[in-house]
Every structure is written in C-alpha cells, then in structure tokens.
Amino acid sequence: MKLNALTLAILAVSSTALAQDQEHEHPDPTEVITITANPLGKNALESTQPVSIISGDELKQKHAHSLGETLSSEPGINNTHFANVAGSPIVRGLGGPRVKITQNGLDTGDVSRGSPDHAVTTETSTAEQIEVLRGPATLLYGSGAIGGVINVVDNRIPSEPIYGLQGNVNGSLSSNNDNKEASYDLQVGNGTWALYSDAFVRDASDYEMASFINDEGERVDSVENSFVEAQGGTLGVSYQFDNGFFGLSYQGLSQDYGIPGHAHHEEGHEEEAHEEELLEAHGPYANLEQDRVQLAGQWRSPFSGIEQVDFRGALTDYQHQEIEEDFVATQFENQQKEVRLTARHQTLAGWSGAIGWQWDISDKSAIGEEAFTPDTSRRTQGLFWVVEQEFGDHHVDLGARYERTSLASEDWQLNTFSAVSASAGYLYHFDKHTSVSVNLSHAERAPSGTEVFSNGNHFATRTYELGLGYELHEEESGEYHIEAAEHSIETERSNNLDLGVHYETDTFHANFNVFYNRVDDFIYDDFVGITSEQIHGDEEHEEHEHEEHAHGEALQVVQFSQLDAELYGYELELDWRLNDAWSVHSFSDYTRAKQRDGGNLARIPAQRLGAEVRYQAQSWDGSLGYTRYFSQDKVAVNESETDAYGLLNARVNMYPNWLANYGATLYLKGENLTNQLGLVHSSYLKEEAPVMGRQFQAGVSITF
C-alpha cells in the first residue's frame, strides 16, 4: 500500500517537531469522564440515560479495525461482523439507520447505515474517547439516533489552550492475518494557537479461523477476501481567544478491503501492476475514499441570558467503489453537509439548559449492478431544548425535539416526515455509594432512503432488497411482479423505559440497567421466502436477472415492511477489587426482540456472560478473560439458529523502567486462545465469515 501525499507530509512535519523537542513534560494520564455528546457537560455518573465512556489505556486495548469490533465487548453493544472488513455497532438489538455514529458530534457522512458491508469511516486508533449512549438519543441527534449514539471524540480541533508538544505513537503486529499497524497523534501550541495532526496505516491479509465443513462439504479454515489496506491523516488548527475558540480541520481517508462471500471472478486475468494482481486475486473489493472538513467554535458569555454558544459544522465528500475483475461494478457517493448550533442558557426558574438547531443535507447516488437504491436526497432540520435541575439528592432532566425530514429520489415525488421526540429522566442518590435512575422517552424516526426506495440486487448480503415504496404481487403461476405501493409510509414511534442502579465503593462497582422499548410501525427487512428468480415482468428486473446469472446465484428477497415490535433486556457490569494486586471484572447482557403479533425479529444477538481476572504489579499488569456467547434459538422466519461458543483472551502490559520517561507500554495480547469456531448470529455472513481464530498481537504505545 502506498501512503498518499497528505500522510507523508504529516509524518514529515511531526518527525521534525519531535526531533526539535528533546525535553518535554509528560502529563499524568487522567480518566476522561465528561460526555462531550451532552451540551450540559455531564459525566457518566450524572446521566439518567445509560452511558459508557471508553478512553485511555482501555481504548487502546480494545481498538480494532472496525468500530463495531472495537465496542463489541461493551455491555449492550454487539457487532454486525461483516468478517473483519466492516463492522457497525448494534445497540440493544438495533443497528443500521437506528444508531447514529458521529465524529465529534457530527454525522460521519459515510453510507455504513445502509448496508453491513459498508465500512464506518471513524478511526479509533487516534481517538481520545468513545461515548456510547444506549437507548433513544433523538433529542440531540435526530431520528437516526432512535436506538442510540456512538460518538468518537478526538482533538483534531483543539478546544483548550495547548502549551508545548504532546502526543502519542502506536505500533503493532498480529499473527493470524499478518496485520501491521502504526498510528500517531500530535498536538503543539503556544497557548493561543494550537496545531493538531494524526495519521494511521493498516495492512492485513485474509484471516484464519477454526476449520469446519461448509454447506458444500468442503473443509475451510480461512475467510477468503477478508484483506484490509487502510490509511488516513488529519490536520487541524484552532485559535484561542479570551471568551472561546475557533478552528477547522481536514481529514483524508482511503481504504481497500475485500468483500467476502461472493468471490466469483474469472481466473486467468493478467494484470500489469503487482498491486492490481494482488487485489484481483482476492476477488471483489471495495475502494473507499473520503475527504472531510470540520469546523468548530465556542463563544462564552456572548450576551445577556446566554452562557455559551457552541458551533460545529462538517462538509463530507464520500466515494465507495466496488470493483470486480478490474472494473468498477458499483459506485456509491455521498455529499453531506451538517451544521449544529447549541446555546446554553442561564437558569430559568431553577432550570439550567440548552437550546439547539441542527441542519443536515445529504445527496447520495449509486451507479452499477448493485445500485439497489436510486439517487436520493435527504433534507433535515431539527430544533431541540434540554433542561435539568437539582432538588437536593434528586436530579430531573427534561427535553423535547421537533424534526422535519424530506426524502426524494429521481423516480419518486417528495416525501416529508415530521418527528416529535421527548424525554424525562430522574436520578436519585440514596447515599454517596448508591443511585437509581429512571428514563422515559418517546422517539420518532423518519425512514431512510434505503428503506423506502430500494429495488435491486445486493450481492454482498446475497439479497434482493425491496423498499417500503414497493409491493410484491403473486400471480396464478406462482411468480411475482413488483408494483408501486399504495399504502402510506409512517414514521417509527418508540416508547422506551430505562431503569438503572449504580453502586460504587473503593473496592466494588456495579451497574445494572433494564430496558423496555415498544415500537409502533417498526421498519423491518423481512425475508419473504422467495428468490429473485421468481420475480419478473419489467425490463429493469430482466437486467437484474441477467446480473444474477452472471454471479451464479439467485438472491433471497428482502421486503421492507412495517409492524409493531417490542424489545427488552438488561445490561450488568461488575468490578471487584480483591486487594491492591488482584481484581475481577464481569459483565452480562441480553436482548429479546419480537413482533407484537407473534414472531421474532431477525439477527438479534444472543445473551452473553463474561468474566476477567486482572493482576496489577508495579511494572506490569495482565488479565485473563472468558466470554460465553449463548445459542440463539429465538429466530425469525427463514432464519437459522446459531450455536453457542466461547472466547478465551489474555493480555500482558509491561512498563519498562528504561522507557519510563517516555510513558511507554509494551503489550502482548492473545485472542480466541482455544481457537473456537464462533458463528455471529447478527452477521449476514454468519457461516461464510466466522470469528477470527487464534491470534497473538504484540505492540508498543508511547505517550509524551
């Protein structure tokens, strides 16, 4: 893989800066607990909504190529697991367009919400923290957050004065897929001006798994076409003035990754360039490019009645090509612009709070044989207000949002949806150790363009997708034809209850949450039990049918429809410090998701139970943990059950004295040590791409 000019320039500038700064102070690491996704500046313990923050060493230990894999061990969070090449978080059984993924509070601007084979464009190797908001977070982030928010936070636009030079450098090697990775982030400033840069590079081959006999009777021990080649870099600058700051940043990102599960290219192609030969040998692959400009600013005490105004904006140019036999089979593009203004007002009748406005437009296009949605545009505006007040040991917060979304495509008239969301939260501290919380919310979601306008082959998931705007009609011959739907399309309406208990002492910590989510007009991608070969009747479908034969397979038809659903479950997390050296960490989670008139929802993760023993010494620490993934037998129609499996993992961190002045950590990590075969129930490639087999990883992290 060749580094682009931006990455090389950043590396050169940073190396020069490091060489010129031989004597620098090493800040003590501190735990970051402020929720940047909340305009009222809360921390996790003050929130009535379940929130997790992963930062520091914990984030470095959990970092993986995809965001879904990075967060997959968090209670209530699972991974879509499109092999290791793409993975999005599933929050309490909900994913896709129901989970908002943001970079510093702004939408990532990619197309990952529309398909599991499309990668999320956030990068966690250079992140400061990741914030996970479970349950509806539509008040602040709109209808795309009806299931939760994942906010990846970095310091690309420094919001506080920086003095001198500080940063982090990381590198690692892995055994299973020969993964090689390096990254850094660097900040330098004089108290008024601050500069930021980061870069990463990653190169991994196909990964191996525990061998098994597939449906064709063949023994397989690796996931073909699961290679990853990725690189990216960021430059940012900010100016600090007496009452705030203003800054901007530019990020460039590039990825090539295989698309497992349908490697059907012809053999015998001769390529002139070595890189082209390598990629062609792997079969179909994705080439992802993104350019992103972010702006941010803050103005403190701007005028009477307002304590602080925060501004954020982003312009994103995204392109994703799926390449087969050295030509572009499908190309996806997204041009997205977003602006958020939030004003924290002074206390009104004892209530402190913030009002905000969000404007977001997105223009998506798709060309080629997997262009299963037409060119679509989305226009969204939202207004919100959140307030809170303390009554002794009692804390109350309230909020409301109104949002208007317009969807249009080249073949359809404008569809406009209005969504109203509201929430009420209560937190009570029994004493300094124990608190309980209750959160009630009503959230509404406008459908996505994919859910409305889809009509075509989607080979990556082996499906033919049909949106809410269409209907299937059966003929006497047993075949089907497609017509425009006559029924209306409704917004999803979710009513959610969250109950939480938090207990903490010097030696014991416990978090327990239970939730119930009742959803009306839930948009559901239903496997209707027929294949695309049974559909006929128009020139467009005949063209799709020709493409299917070229790929050598008929596709299962998925029809988006609306029904009433309910989801409920729990999350439990325990930490027990036995003495100064030994501690035990454990967690468990469970989500039950079903249709209210009978039947189960598809691809719902199974119950999990995990435990980890940790040892802390002066110059090293280690851990040994095991997570059990139980079987999933509560399956939807035309969905198969998934067997249980368990993963044994271990880690050792060393802090050598001869590198103490550099804040260095050397680590060795082993995953799936017993080489278990694990099928991920939430994955579209459950049987083609099981979890990775035994892997060892060695790395170094230096903070200065």
Whether residue 17 is predicted with pLDDT greater than 60 in this model: the reply is no
pLDDT 10s digits, 577-620: 999 999 999 999 999 999 999 999 999 999 999 999 999 998 99
- pLDDT for 539 equals 47
User: What residue type is 215 in one-letter code?
Assistant: D
The answer, yes or no, to whether residue 697 has pLDDT greater than 90, is yes
Contact (CB, 8 A) for 692 and 14: no
Which residue has 């909020």 as its token pair? 399
For residue 457, pLDDT over 90 is answered with: no
CA 367 distance to own-chain centroid? 25
CA dist., res. 82 & res. 97, Å (int):
17
- pLDDT tens per residue across span 355-383: 999 999 999 998 887 777 888 999 999 99
Q: Which CATH number fits the domain that encloses residue 403?
A: 2.40.170.20
Query: Residue 33: pLDDT band by 50, 70, 90 thresholds?
Result: low
User: What share of the chain in percent tops pLDDT 70?
Assistant: 89
Q: How many structural domains comprise the chain?
A: 1
Of 453-467, 610-624, 677-691, minimum mean pLDDT range = 453-467
The DSSP symbol for 2 reads P
Average pLDDT over residues 661-681: 93
Q: What's the pLDDT score for residue 47?
A: 80
Whole-number pLDDT of residue 34: 66
pLDDT at position 541 over 60: no
pLDDT of residue 525: 86
pLDDT at 262: 62
Residue 653: pLDDT band with limits 50, 70, 90: very high
Site of tokens 């029994």: 430
Residue 44 vs residue 517, higher pLDDT: 517
Look at residue 527 in the predicted model and tell me its pLDDT: 83
pLDDT in tens, 393-405: 999 999 999 999 9
Q: At 496, which helix (H) or strand (E)?
A: strand 492-504
pTM higher than the cut 0.85: yes
C-alpha span between 454 and 291 (Å, rounded): 27
Rounded to an integer, what distance in angstroms lies between the CA atom of residue 276 and that of residue 533?
34
pLDDT at 173: 97
Q: Would you give the distance in Å from CA 349 to the centre of its chain?
A: 39
Count Cα atoms within 13 angstroms, Cβ side, for 390.
Answer: 6
For the ranges 137-141, 611-615, 659-663, the one whose mean pLDDT is highest: 611-615
- Tens digit of pLDDT for each residue in 409-447? 877 777 899 999 999 999 999 999 999 999 999 999 999
Band (pLDDT 50/70/90 cuts) for residue 551 is low
Q: What is the mean pLDDT of the chain?
A: 87
* pLDDT band per the 50, 70, 90 thresholds, residue 644: very high
Distance CA 490, CA 154 (A): 37
pLDDT of the residue at 281: 52
142 closest CA partner among 390, 310, 357, 320: 357
Task: Write out the residue range of the structural domain in which residue 207 sits.
Answer: 5-703
Task: Look at residue 493 and tell me whether its pLDDT is greater than 70.
Answer: yes
Give the residue with greater pLDDT, 99 vs 215.
99
In whole angstroms, what is the distance from residue 628 CA to residue 606 CA?
A: 10
